[in-house]
A and B are shown apart, each in its own frame.
Chain A
Amino acid sequence: MEKEIRKLSRFKWELPTGYKSGMRVPGTIFADEEFLEAARIDGALEQVANVAFLPGIVERSFAMPDIHKGYGFPIGGVAAFGEDGIVSPGGVGFDISCGVRLTKTMLTEDDIMGRLENLVDLLEAKIPKGLGAGGKISAAEQVLKKVFKSGGKAAIDLGYGREGDLEFTEGGGVYTEADPSCVGKRAFERGRNQLGTLGSGNHFVEVQLVEEIFIPGTAEKFGLFEGQVVIMIHSGSRGVGHQICTDYLQRMDRESQKAGLDLPDRQLSYAPLDSAGARDYLAALACAGNYAIANRQAIMHWVRESFEVHFKTAERKLGMDLLYDVSHNTAKMEIHEVKGKRLRLCVHRKGATTSFPPGHEGVPREYSEVGQPVIIPGDMGSCSYVLVGTARSMNESFGSTCHGAGRTMSRSKARKTIRGDELKKRLGGKGIIVRAGKPSLLAEEAPEAYKDVSRVVDICDGAGLSRKVAKLRPLAVLKG
């Protein structure tokens, strides 16, 4: 049986079922030679193979070009399961529905430079960030239930945003399968004071500039132009998601051990899709997804407020419309065509983003002609991207593309080899204002700890998973 990795095309590789005994389907890795080798060395390919062990997996176990080693699934992993399949919390991760949103403005570099420090002061004062920072919103149980149930709409009802924002949020701003009764007491407790908090690690708010446009027609549809100021928000479901993942991992581990399942990695414990465990997990995951959307909605509201104060102009007049909000850690039921049949599949994306084509029902009406915006946060020293979904991604990767740069260096190594204060100085030299907690935390997020995001999106473009629309460069970074 074939054991060796095979090149299928320039950026596409096959991990044959013979790679590891027990694989039900082959793996597909979208990468160039160097990224593939890096994934082999750090053990991520082994994880692509492990995912292929899971029952009911349809077609292939996929990895996007930002693949690196995770736990259970690799980061950058995509897998879909049919009705006879499963759902696995290890295929989503702890930060359920971690995602990004991009807010537009009608401002240009000239409007903002010179007084940027002042604007960043305002943002810093309004947005709780970092470890130990409680939120400004105290969400009692009844409020939390509404947030869990209706996501973006609940945040808007609380006064954070405007109705029109929902249309430009994935799924209309709501995971409809949410059922708060499936969320444990502890997740409720953790959710109480974390709504509207950025968190720490790689989460951020960045003021960015549109540096380059690659597809003018699509950029125009998205409302992007060269020289434009935009704001990117990267955050997730905070302690709610962490606790829901913890609780359901425990439950599924117990059930998997009881059933005597032979798993290649214990983190891959699962529940069959037709079981109560799967239904409950998906309903709780949806609550965390809604919390994450509401969280980013509240943060965007404070971004708008900061701009209003700074420019003494109403945010609508500043053109602060939401371009799109999309999550990159999810499991969702979606319809996909497989061998000519339309199937309802549970698609896991762990560090991967939907990349739906023009005309797809998941794309906002306004973007229907061009496809779904895909927001890719880069590392703080280089750049980020806006991509657009393609029809090819539906055939290649269940409508998925990359989610970011992907780490290449462990956090502890980054701390040892990079000095946070020097990094801040270096970024300052490039004209980037950085506000972060401790210098060591900043060092963990240094550009050299990540892959080159431009190469990641080029591979996605080359493989047809998404197309590059615009490149964004950072002006100011607020780090958790």
Chain B
Amino acid sequence: MKFRVIEHTADIGIEVEAPSLSELFVGAAEAMMHIISPAASKKGKPRPIYLEAGDVEALLYSWLNEILFIVFSEDIIPSVFDVAIINERALKAEIRGEPYAQGRHELQTEIKGATFHEMNVTEKDGRWIARVIFDV
């Protein structure tokens, strides 16, 4: 999995590449957390997640916004993501993270939401690529 940050005048985006859809979703979550709070520890209580959506882009939207809710409402900094893609419209996942603690975690950027703007998820020759723009 690799990712790069996309330049956008007002906001920020990510482009992620991975060998499978599950890894793509893991990569997108890690890239987003890299923007919010990089280098968190790999500890924490596991938390199960199940999501359904109309298509793979909407599933990615739900996944990233689910994580944002956990970060900004429960003050948890997730760092480990296990994702099992059921099909392009549903996933099961387990995420792990620690409660935010000043000094241990560095909060860099508040992401207000993952948007549908210019969002796409594509597969070519066994490589999956996703692009997401965030409102910051």
Contact = CB atoms under 8 A, between A and B. Distances in A.
A258 B113 contact: no
A131 B35 CA distance: 13
A410 B134 CA distance: 13
B61 A250 contact: yes
Given A69-B10, A412-B5, A257 B58 contact: yes
A454 interface: no
A95 interface: yes
A454 B62 CA distance: 41
A201 interface: yes
A440 interface: yes
A242 B117 contact: no
Interface string A262-301: 0001110100000000000000000000000000000000
Contacts of A177: none
A411 B65 contact: no
A243 B69 contact: yes
B45 to A, nearest CB: 18
Contacts of B119: 266
Interface stretch (A12-20, A70-78, A117-125, A365-373): A70-78
A265 B117 contact: yes
A44 B9 CA distance: 10
A201 B136 contact: yes
Contacts of B41: none
A131 B110 contact: yes
Nearest to A188: B73
A438 B107 CA distance: 9
Given A201-B136, A242-B113, A266-B57, A250 B62 contact: yes
Contacts of A250: 58, 61-62, 65
Interface in A318-352: none
Contacts of A199: 110
B116 A242 contact: no
A430 B65 CA distance: 41
Nearest to B5: A412
Interface string A104-145: 000000000000000000000000001110000000000000
A94 B118 contact: no
Interface in B33-71: 53-55, 57-58, 61-62, 65, 68-69
A258 B133 contact: no
A200 B110 contact: yes
Contacts of B53: 254
Contacts of B110: 131, 199-201
B135 A412 contact: no
Given A69-B8, A132-B102, A132-B107, A266 B69 contact: no
Contacts of B135: 71, 93-95, 242
Nearest to A93: B135
Contacts of B3: none
B115 interface: yes
A297 B24 CA distance: 43
Interface string A89-107: 0100111000000000000
A190 B73 contact: yes
A267 B72 contact: no
B125 interface: no
A424 interface: no
A40 interface: no
Given A94-B112, A254-B58, A269-B116, A239 B73 contact: yes
23 contacts: A44-B9, A68-B10, A71-B115, A71-B133, A72-B116, A75-B10, A189-B73, A190-B72, A190-B73, A200-B110, A242-B68, A253-B61, A254-B53, A257-B54, A265-B117, A408-B9, A409-B9, A410-B8, A410-B10, A410-B12, A411-B11, A413-B7, A441-B109
Closest 8 CB pairs of A and B: A71-B117, A94-B112, A266-B116, A131-B107, A267-B117, A242-B112, A71-B115, A94-B113
